[in-house]
Amino acid sequence: MNKLNLKNGRNMSMLMDFYELTMSNGYFLDGMGDTTAYFDMFFRKIPEDGGYAIMAGLEQVIEYIEGLKFDEDDIEYLRGLNTFDERFLNYLQNFKFTGSVYAIPEGTLIFPGEPILTVKAPVKEAQLLETMILLTINHQSLIATKTSRIVRAADGRPVMEFGSRRAQGPDGAMFGARASYIGGAAATAATIVGEEFGMPVAGTMAHSWVQFYDDEYTAFKKYSEMYPDNSVLLVDTYSVLNSGVPNAIRVAKEVLEPMGKRLKGIRLDSGDIAYLTRKARKMLDDAGLTDCKIVVSNSLDEHIITSILQQGAQIDSFGVGERLITSKSEPVFGGVYKLAAVENDEGQIIPKIKISENVEKITNPGFKKVYRFFDKDTHKALGDVITMADEVINDKEPYTIFDPVYTWKKKTLTNYYVMELQQEIFRDGKLVYNSPTLEETRNYTKLQLDNLWDEVKRFENPHTYYIDLSKKLWNVKNELITKLKGEK
């Protein structure tokens, strides 16, 4: 059995905010529970003021919805709260999701305001999904996005995820590592993630191995005799340049080369990385170990990596821990789950909106979809347009995009093609989507990033990617704002 599978492994159905249950119970008692509602998940701000984010976590959302059920212990607990009607508890006891879900696939670049996942279901069902959808996609999208920034800073050098022991609990470690692979990490130190998801695992020794033996040379010698095909020696337990690198070179010459093997690498986990790696590289090269790789770790992130590489650090790969697995510099991905529409008795979709004095908190009403525009010649993404669900963009005709706030800012596109981003995941309670493998998702992410302009991907003051509304959606939104403001 898959240890991490939410469908077959753990029952997480009660991991929901209490108000989801009270509202669902209320809809049930009011006779409105079967009213079809549309809820959007979207986010308002890209972490760290970056230019893009990466969608991740959909596979676990699918597992959760498929496995959603309330067991006898759950029902008894809820009954003991003396809050819920017995008929509602009987409904929960036989719960099965019957709605539809549309979502942007994992690995796709996502931007603020876009519906990255939409639930169409009886409101008593749709309301219950909120917490798990948000916590799953918020967490994995955050880590995938952070990893992508770190991988880009590494400039082609592999990045290994080393953060398990600093993660916020087991799920943070395991699903964070999964998300890091989507974001471009080459491997993880979390063995269970390799077992469950097929992600490559990496790791050699800790300082305790070196300390355990009477001297550093003996520790290196023992390790290399046991793992002659993968000897990466940790050289900073005592002194990198005075003992660590010299002892590694000695083991390469006295132990590995007589066996017909080569020293694969050395690792540094402390000190002035730029200075030490330059010195270590010269010592290794002078000893004829030009193929020996230098791996560094020690509280790295994209900014530190960029800085030390600019200082001439000689590094072949990075192990990144706490600042990746926790996204330490900005540890929250602010996705929200908001009602966008309901169906009346005649089956008409009635748009709903949340109004705020903060413009960015005003929601986009209605059942919607998202189109991405690409330049036909460069295949670079030009921008996204959020439309009503019944709109079709004909890429054989010119299309004018406009800023939804500063509406006089317009641009007419001609040489383009479009891709509809959301895909159908569940239809009337039945899963109709085949999840790609983690490797396929990782490769898809790389392709997505290749299609994004460098100006959008830079760390400092990235170009703002266009996310516009169709004229029809813009009209619906403004009519609702005018109507509801007038009622006050």
Instruction: Locate the domains of the chain by residue range.
Output: 147-325
The whole-angstrom separation of Cα 216 and Cα 236 is: 10
Q: Confidence class of residue 356 from pLDDT cuts 50, 70 and 90?
A: confident
**C-beta separation of 160 from 185 below 8 A:** yes
pLDDT digits (tens, 9 = 90+) for 34-74: 999 999 999 999 999 999 999 999 999 999 999 999 999 99
DSSP state of 129: G
pLDDT of residue 487: 53
pLDDT digits (tens, 9 = 90+) for 190-240: 999 999 999 999 998 999 999 999 999 999 999 999 999 999 999 999 999
CA-to-CA separations, 445 to 236, 381, 477, in angstroms, rounded? 35, 14, 32
* In the chain, % of residues over pLDDT 90: 94
Q: Confidence class of residue 360 from pLDDT cuts 50, 70 and 90?
A: confident
Q: For the chain, what is the mean pLDDT?
A: 96
Of 357 and 388, the structure prediction assigns the larger pLDDT to 388
pLDDT digits (tens, 9 = 90+) for 362-421: 999 999 999 999 999 999 999 999 999 999 999 999 999 999 988 999 999 999 999 999
Mean pLDDT over residues 106-124, rounded?
98
Give the H/E segment covering residue 181.
helix 169-182
Q: Confidence class of residue 488 from pLDDT cuts 50, 70 and 90?
A: very low
Mean pLDDT over residues 448-452, rounded?
97
**Bridge partners for 268 per DSSP:** 296
Mean pLDDT over residues 106-112, rounded?
98
**C-beta separation of 417 from 120 below 8 A:** no
Domain boundaries 147-325, CATH class? alpha beta
Q: What are phi and psi of 401, to 5 degrees?
A: -100, 150
pLDDT at residue 1 is higher than 50: no
pLDDT at residue 4 is higher than 60: no
The whole-angstrom separation of Cα 404 and Cα 470 is: 9
Give the H/E segment covering residue 118.
strand 117-122
Q: Confidence class of residue 9 from pLDDT cuts 50, 70 and 90?
A: low
**Bridge partners for 345 per DSSP:** none
Structure-block tokens of residue 457:
């991907």
pLDDT digits (tens, 9 = 90+) for 272-316: 999 999 999 999 999 999 999 999 998 999 999 999 999 999 999
Say what the pTM is. 0.96
